[in-house]
A and B are shown apart, each in its own frame.
Chain A
Amino acid sequence: MSDQAPKSDEPLDDDPQDDAKQHIHIDPYEKNWIRISIGFLVFFVIMITIAGLALGIQVPTDEGRVDPNTLDTALPWSEPGLREIVPGEEYEVYIVARRFSFDPREITVPVGSKVTFWATSADVQHGFALDGTNVNMMVIPGQVSRLAATFDEPGEYNFICHEYCGLGHAVMYGTLTVEK
């Protein structure tokens, strides 16, 4: 590459008055690198779009708001826990995050079921990440979080609070059991 460099020592158009003539000198190697860079980035955009649209891997989106001071008195948050939508197939679970535990802490669903997780916080910001799935979301007072996952493997899956919520943060977790 530097074999080229001495050549480019020649001054280019040197008239600062005439802006129209003022082009950037770009080394041919650099032009190729710019093409490669743009190519990479376009490729990545295509891949995340396919993952989002064709594979349905979506991030949390706006689900409306809730007053964190009314969680004890208003449904659905006053009765957190599992709701059976289609037995053996489809479930919803409402989870309230409080320093330093989730309510409920233990959830059990049959294998093969699709579970939608709804969550909000009664106090500070928390996180909710479920082992081995794409369920990973912030749990923020005043906001409703929702993500879903399908469980084809029986076993125990921990859900962990991943946002610092106070001195007891490290012990805040719960377990989802998928039964045969």
Chain B
Amino acid sequence: MIENQTKQPVRELTSSEKWFVGWHVIFAVAALSIGIQYGPMQALEHAGLDLYPKLSFLASSYYQGLTLHGVLNALIWTTFFITGFLTLVVIRGLERPLKYPWLNRIGFWMMVVGLVVAAVPILAGKATVLYTFYPPMEASAWFYIGLVLVVVGSWIEGYGMYFTFYSWRKENPGTRSPFVVFASLVTMVMWQIATLGIAAEILAIILPSVFGWTSGTDPQLSRTLFWYTGHPLVYFWVLPAYLSWYAMLPKQTGGKMFSDSLARLSFWLFLVLSVPLGFHHQFADPGVPAGWKFIHALLTFSVAFPSMMTLFTVVASLEYGAKKRGGKGLIGWMKALPWSDPSVLWQLLAGLLFIFGGIGGIVNASYNVNLALHNTSWIPGHFHLTVASAATMTFVAISFWMVPYLTGKPLWKPKLAVIGGWTYFTGMLIFSNAMHVVGLLGAPRRTPLGLAPYIPEEWAGHLWRVGFGGTIMWIGLMIFIVVVAVTALQRKRLPENELVEVPLAESLHDLQSTPAWLDRWRPWLIASVVIIILSYGPQLYEQITQVQLTSPGFTP
């Protein structure tokens, strides 16, 4: 079967499909290139160098800059890149066009309109509410409308992927779906289940209050709905990176996928367990009973399990490839990995940083231990290891083959891209470590500490490291942006026989040996909904039936 596949020419993306994916990448990288400008400003502010008065054209306040940094990097860069990347994966994985390309186009341009509609009030200083926009703090209505359009647009792109998969499934009833396509669909389905919370928060609570139809909001219920979405949002960022680590990185390092079955099992577990654990962001909330918080702590531990499986499977795949390349020894095989390939390097470093991110995540989830770090700078220190390392560094790595694939042009200065990876990694180690440590000492997050009157002397060294590390990180990502922009804009083209391929690793085992129950949707979807109802139903029922819309809005 594998021989058959290699003989037939692969159906690559057509030119218009490449453009469609390419537009996602253009908007994603544009958002990132603006969003990261605020990073060193925040970090240097902590270190005592306040650039805001000098760069007032970028942001009128620390908080406006922080809102832009969070929205553009964590929401826009991720969502646009992920929907584009998964579209490419579905088309290439199934080797067929989208069933309804117009549907995906509607979804995409809805996201673009949403981005503009949300960005204008933020830039005008009418939505300085940070990317959590906790009511009763109130932004311009357009900010929320824009966010809703981005989310609904991403849903529609997901529907387009389902229709495409469904028509493939009808033609290939007994065949296992390709892992990468399966993983893309799990990511989109999980995202659609998860974003129901934020949709309900904005449409049922915030917008009616902003329009003056109600007397105010219920801030506690809003938080509960927000964090129903807020934590699975993290998995929406990380699952596409897992897809790449499981099924693409092995190909790039000369190996095979170690276990198709276990990769699928872990994705199913992420579908079932990503959503029902949002209270672990609310351990310090007054309006949620401690018992429910404890239950969600246990569920959070359970979702750590598929991540630990991922760690094993990915490392095993890497070792298999490295030993085939001549690597030897218990640890020494790592030297045989292609560290000089920028796409491999950024992913390996992403994975290394994510080990620390995972350990920190278990600490965060640990119920009463959370009291030592809730809302301290430990938290941004932590999620810069997840969204800004595991996800962002992997998306950067994907761009290093995807942009040449989409444009037919060679990657500009791969060595510089490698240097960029080490630079960002080094900056992140310094920055995130300092943020964790000063957080444990009590430094609050989301606060311009240079202005705060309560800073003890012992924080100073750590705050200096925050500024230093943050600046180095900025250099690393600026290198990425320059490399990828020059790659796309240069005139040089790859010769026909050197065109870049989509790296899809073969499974070590025959694909059909993956058990059929790992390729069936219904039982897993039912399990997902049942666990959500059990873990959220009683509290949501109580908070909704006792809703009190008594908090009028306040502008920041």
Binding site for B on A (CB under 8 A): 1-2, 5, 8-9, 11-14, 16, 19, 22-27, 29-30, 33-34, 37-38, 41, 44-45, 47-48, 51-52, 57-63, 65, 67-69, 99, 123-125, 127, 129, 131-132, 134-146, 158, 160-167, 169-171, 173
B512 at the interface (CB under 8 A from A): yes
Q: Which 8 A-B pairs have the closest CB atoms?
A: A22-B515, A162-B444, A61-B290, A145-B286, A162-B375, A37-B308, A143-B286, A170-B451
Q: Which of B10-18, B180-188, B291-299, B339-347 is the contact stretch? A: B291-299
B201 at the interface (CB under 8 A from A): no
Decide: A142 and B374 in contact? CB cutoff 8 A: no
Question: A134 to B369, alpha carbons, bound, how many Å?
Answer: 9
B447 at the interface (CB under 8 A from A): yes
Decide: B136 and A134 in contact? CB cutoff 8 A: no
Decide: B286 and A136 in contact? CB cutoff 8 A: no
Question: A52 to B367, alpha carbons, bound, how many Å?
Answer: 9
Q: Select one of B218, B286, B556 contacting A137, CB under 8 A.
A: B286
Decide: A136 and B453 in contact? CB cutoff 8 A: no
Q: Select one of A1, A37, A162 contacting B447, CB under 8 A.
A: A162
Contacts of B490 in A (CB 8 A): none
Contacts of A140 in B (CB 8 A): 219-220, 223, 285-287
- Contact (A129, B444) CB under 8 Å given A16-B516, A69-B550, A140-B219: yes
Closest-by-CB residue of A relative to B305 is A37
Decide: A134 and B286 in contact? CB cutoff 8 A: no
Question: A62 to B539, alpha carbons, bound, how many Å?
Answer: 11
The digit string for B272-310, where 1 denotes a CB below 8 A from any CB of A, is 000000000011111111110110011001101100110
Question: A65 to B551, alpha carbons, bound, how many Å?
Answer: 12
Decide: A164 and B368 in contact? CB cutoff 8 A: no
Contacts of B287 in A (CB 8 A): 62, 65, 140, 142-143
Decide: B305 and A164 in contact? CB cutoff 8 A: no
Contacts of B370 in A (CB 8 A): 59
Contacts of B128 in A (CB 8 A): 167
Decide: A44 and B284 in contact? CB cutoff 8 A: no
Question: A81 to B470, alpha carbons, bound, how many Å?
Answer: 41
A68 to B: closest C-beta gap in Å:
6
Decide: B312 and A142 in contact? CB cutoff 8 A: no
Decide: A129 and B376 in contact? CB cutoff 8 A: yes
Contacts of A27 in B (CB 8 A): 258-259, 316
8 A Cβ contacts from B448-488 to A: 448-449, 451-454
Closest-by-CB residue of A relative to B374 is A136
Decide: A163 and B134 in contact? CB cutoff 8 A: yes
Q: Select one of A47, A59, A123, A141 contacting B284, CB under 8 A.
A: A59
Decide: B136 and A124 in contact? CB cutoff 8 A: yes
B4 to A: closest C-beta gap in Å:
16
8 A Cβ contacts from B50-88 to A: 61, 63
Question: A51 to B363, alpha carbons, bound, how many Å?
Answer: 14
Closest-by-CB residue of A relative to B256 is A5
Q: When A and B form their complex, what is the total count of cross-chain residue pairs whose Cβ atoms lie within 8 Å?
A: 234
Q: How large is the interface on B (under 10, 10 to 19, 20 to 34, 35 or more residues)?
A: 35 or more
Most buried by B among A127, A144, A170: A170
Q: A44-B301, A60-B286 are in contact. List 5 more A-B contacts (CB 8 A).
A: A58-B368, A59-B367, A69-B552, A138-B375, A141-B219
- Contact (A44, B508) CB under 8 Å given A138-B285, A167-B63, A170-B448: no
Contacts of B291 in A (CB 8 A): 61
Most buried by A among B174, B286, B320, B449: B286
Question: A118 to B284, alpha carbons, bound, how many Å?
Answer: 13
Question: A54 to B301, alpha carbons, bound, how many Å?
Answer: 21
Closest-by-CB residue of B relative to A139 is B286
Q: Select one of A45, A123, A136 contacting B371, CB under 8 A.
A: A136
Binding site for A on B (CB under 8 A): 61, 63, 128, 130, 134, 136-137, 174, 218-220, 223, 258-259, 261-262, 265, 282-291, 293-294, 297-298, 301-302, 304-305, 308-309, 312-313, 316, 319-320, 323, 333, 362, 366-372, 374-376, 442, 444-449, 451-454, 508-510, 512-513, 515-518, 546, 548, 550-552, 554, 556
Decide: B515 and A23 in contact? CB cutoff 8 A: yes
Question: A17 to B513, alpha carbons, bound, how many Å?
Answer: 11
Question: A61 to B287, alpha carbons, bound, how many Å?
Answer: 7
Decide: B323 and A2 in contact? CB cutoff 8 A: yes
Question: A1 to B294, alpha carbons, bound, how many Å?
Answer: 38
Decide: B304 and A52 in contact? CB cutoff 8 A: no
Contacts of B259 in A (CB 8 A): 24-27, 30
Interface SS of A by simple majority = loop
Question: A99 to B283, alpha carbons, bound, how many Å?
Answer: 23
Decide: A138 and B369 in contact? CB cutoff 8 A: no
- Contact (A127, B516) CB under 8 Å given A60-B284, A61-B290, A67-B548: no
Contacts of B552 in A (CB 8 A): 69
- Contact (A129, B550) CB under 8 Å given A16-B516, A59-B368: no
Question: A138 to B218, alpha carbons, bound, how many Å?
Answer: 15
- 19 A/B residue pairs, CB under 8 Å, sorted by A: A2-B319, A5-B320, A19-B516, A24-B515, A48-B366, A52-B294, A59-B284, A61-B286, A62-B288, A65-B546, A99-B554, A127-B444, A137-B286, A141-B136, A141-B219, A142-B548, A166-B554, A170-B452, A171-B452
Contacts of A139 in B (CB 8 A): 286
A130 to B: closest C-beta gap in Å:
9
Question: A110 to B134, alpha carbons, bound, how many Å?
Answer: 37
- Contact (A30, B289) CB under 8 Å given A13-B513, A136-B372, A160-B442: no
Question: A48 to B368, alpha carbons, bound, how many Å?
Answer: 7
Decide: A41 and B220 in contact? CB cutoff 8 A: no
Q: Select one of B265, B323, B508 contacting A8, CB under 8 A.
A: B508
Closest-by-CB residue of B relative to A135 is B371
Decide: A16 and B174 in contact? CB cutoff 8 A: yes
Closest-by-CB residue of A relative to B290 is A61
- Contact (A48, B289) CB under 8 Å given A136-B375, A166-B556, A167-B556: no
Question: A163 to B291, alpha carbons, bound, how many Å?
Answer: 24
Contacts of B309 in A (CB 8 A): 30, 33-34, 37
Question: A48 to B330, alpha carbons, bound, how many Å?
Answer: 35
Contacts of A134 in B (CB 8 A): 368, 371-372
Decide: A12 and B376 in contact? CB cutoff 8 A: no
Most buried by B among A9, A58, A136, A139: A136
Contacts of A129 in B (CB 8 A): 374-376, 442, 444
A141 to B: closest C-beta gap in Å:
5
B373 to A: closest C-beta gap in Å:
8
